[in-house]
Amino acid sequence: MTDIKKTGSTGTPPTPAAGPAAITAIPVRHYGRYVSAVIAIGLLASIVYAFSQGQINWGAVPDYFFDDRILRGVGQTLLLTVLSMAIGIVGGVLLAVMRLSKNPVTASIAWSYIWFFRGTPVLVQLFVWFNLGLVFEYINLGPVYKDEWSSFMTPLLTALLGLGLNEAAYMAEICRAGLLSVDEGQTEASHALGMSHSKTLRRVVIPQAMRVIVPPTGNEVINMLKTTSLVAAVQFTELFRYAQDIGQNSGAPVEMYFLAAAWYLIMTSILSVGQYYLERHYARGSSRSLPQTPIQKIRANLLSLGRPSGGMA
Amino acid sequence: MTTTPMVKAEGVHKSFGTAHILKGIDLEVAPREVFCLIGPSGSGKSTFLRCINHLEKISAGRLSVDGELVGYRQKGDKLYELRDNEVALKRRDIGMVFQRFNLFPHMTAIENVMEAPVQVKGESKAVARARAEKLLDRVGLADKAKNYPSQLSGGQQQRVAIARALAMEPKLMLFDEPTSALDPELVGDVLDVMRGLAEDGMTMIVVTHEMGFAREVGDALVFMDDGVVVESGHPRDVLTNPQQDRTKSFLSKVL
């Protein structure tokens, strides 16, 4: 084990002292690869050229990049993402447990919920929440709260319910898959030690399920961040809506779409990095050695540059 | 001398749907005894073992551990099913070792051993750690305390699993084919640990295919086939001089 590591990191050619001479042969030429690379680069260059020659005023993008409204929009988008995901995760865990429960009533309620919310488009759901005032004129929670539906259902609440309840259906399936992925022997071993159902779930099953749950949940967060742009349709103002507004007032609508796209890309990139570290955390014990983090890789490379002949002791 | 048997089974039946797995098992395991269960696969040995700590519910008959019914409470002539937490309470005293180890893969070896005393008995981490270190040392793995199960060989994992079960200080240990999933050269280490336990007077029920271990360490042996006890007695007698034809034909194939 250690021998392999040493030769790998010192950079010396791996020719053993007394071994047979290394094979010298003419490598296979992959001409197809050169051709396809040239075609791909050519296509890419022509697309970039087309955009640079189009009727797009690129100067408008940096002008508005840190505009107050854009920054406020970014804030609203993040807020909406966090709150909707919170609703989605809590609801999803609840639904997953309900679906896996031995009680047929709760199991079928959870099944129906998932069936409905996963089976209809989220934009349609948003409009339904927005227009539910046609069905319920008033909201009346007895002595606690009473108001007209239209003033109760603010754009924020509409957006949260629409996105959050939809997300719960997807998270439920992710959590269920995670819980089912844990070997039954784990539950048995835990029970045999005298641990209760809830302790078994909390200490043994969920930590292992997280390995399966975290990666798709990261995808869901990234997806949610982008999906929040839909709520512009129900009068909630976030990044996309602000960019649209600025575009219409400043006469640079397409430029503002590019600006919004750049902001979304920045935010999703940051989230991807976070997801990577979270996955690493839950991979404990699953593989013999954890992969290096990007920072560790950079540090290792720098170290080996500084001491080209030194080993990685 | 009349002591309460550690395990007493009277006419124990178990069915899964239409499959009748156990067809009336009667046996007694005395305290401090090493009791070996042998038989072909599908004979019901493992199922019976799992009934003892209520991982499986028996369909008929009576099964008791240390004088108390498994899974039920008797009041007058009525049986009341035990609640989950009552079942859990009884399982504390019964250690179990599985064929496939079933160590918790997200915890290190020592965390595996500490888990139940801390979580179930509410022991302090310091006390649990001290005992866990002693137990890992006893199974010869003191230097592997910080390793995750995936970093250990099968034999090492099984010895950690034995230490994990012992950490609850059980009065009875159940072994479900503890060496069947191991490479032949790793079997010896696990059997040595079990031999040591037997010498210390632990009551053990061992489902095994290791006839050598059964003959050397076992105090009693039962040969099961098709859900019934075919033959029982002292391991030396049964293994060297079987009376039943079924036992003879089984032993001729495995010995």
* Residue A26 scores a pLDDT above 60: yes
Q: B89–A285: do the CB atoms touch at under 8 Å?
A: no
Its pTM stands at 0.78
Per-residue pLDDT tens over the stretch A124-164: 999 988 888 777 777 777 777 777 777 777 888 889 999 99
Distance from the Cα of A299 to chain B's closest Cα (Å) equals: 26
Residue ranges making up the domain that contains A115: 68-138+146-288
| Residue B183 structure tokens | 């490479």
Tell whether A47 is covered by a domain.
no
Tell whether A122 is covered by a domain.
yes
**Which of A182, A186, A193, A201 best probes binding to B when mutated, by most B CB atoms within 10 angstroms?**
A193
Total structural domains in chain A? Answer: 1
CB–CB contacts below 8 A, A to B: 73
* CATH number for the domain harbouring residue A117: 1.10.3720.10
CA B83 to chain centre: 23
Q: A193–B168: do the CB atoms touch at under 8 Å?
A: yes
The four Cα atoms A37, A38, A41, A42 give a dihedral, to 10 degrees, of -150
What distance in Å separates the CA atoms of residue B106 and residue B103, rounded to the nearest whole number?
A: 9
* Residue A289 scores a pLDDT above 80: no
Q: Cβ(B35)–Cβ(B220) under 8 Å?
A: yes
Q: A192–B148: do the CB atoms touch at under 8 Å?
A: no
Tell whether A58 is covered by a domain.
no
- Residue entry with tokens 């079928």: A108
Tell whether A237 is covered by a domain.
yes
Q: In 3D, which of A210, A217, A112 has the Cα closest to residue A170? A: A217
Q: Cβ(A214)–Cβ(A177) under 8 Å?
A: no
Please indicate if any CB of chain B lies within 8 Å of the CB of A184: no
Tell whether A14 is covered by a domain.
no
Per-residue pLDDT tens over the stretch B49-98: 999 999 999 999 999 999 999 999 988 889 999 999 999 999 999 999 99
Tell whether A157 is covered by a domain.
yes
Q: Cβ(B230)–Cβ(B244) under 8 Å?
A: yes
Distance from the Cα of A8 to chain B's closest Cα (Å) equals: 22
**CA dist list (Å): A52 to A45, A61, A136:** 10, 13, 52
According to the model, what pLDDT value does residue B76 have? 87
| Residue A281 structure tokens | 């955390």
Q: Reduced to 3 states, what is the DSSP secondary structure of residue A236?
A: coil
Tell whether A20 is covered by a domain.
no
Average pLDDT, chain A: 85
Q: Cβ(B56)–Cβ(A184) under 8 Å?
A: no
Please indicate if any CB of chain B lies within 8 Å of the CB of A204: yes
- B chain contacts of residue A207, beta-carbon cutoff 8 Å: 106
Tell whether A250 is covered by a domain.
yes
Q: B92–A285: do the CB atoms touch at under 8 Å?
A: no
Per-residue pLDDT tens over the stretch A62-101: 888 999 999 999 999 999 999 999 999 999 999 998 999 8
Give the nearest partner residue to B119 out of A186, A195, A208, using CB atoms.
A195
**Which of B87, B104, B121, B147 best probes binding to A when mutated, by most A CB atoms within 10 angstroms?**
B104
Output the DSSP codes for B61-102. Answer: EEEEETTEESSEEEETTEEEEPPHHHHHHHHTTEEEE-TT--
Out of A16-20, A194-198, B197-201, pick the least confident. A16-20
Distance from the Cα of B59 to chain A's closest Cα (Å) equals: 20
Per-residue pLDDT tens over the stretch B103-154: 999 999 999 999 999 999 999 999 999 999 999 999 999 999 999 999 999 9
DSSP classification of residue A201: I
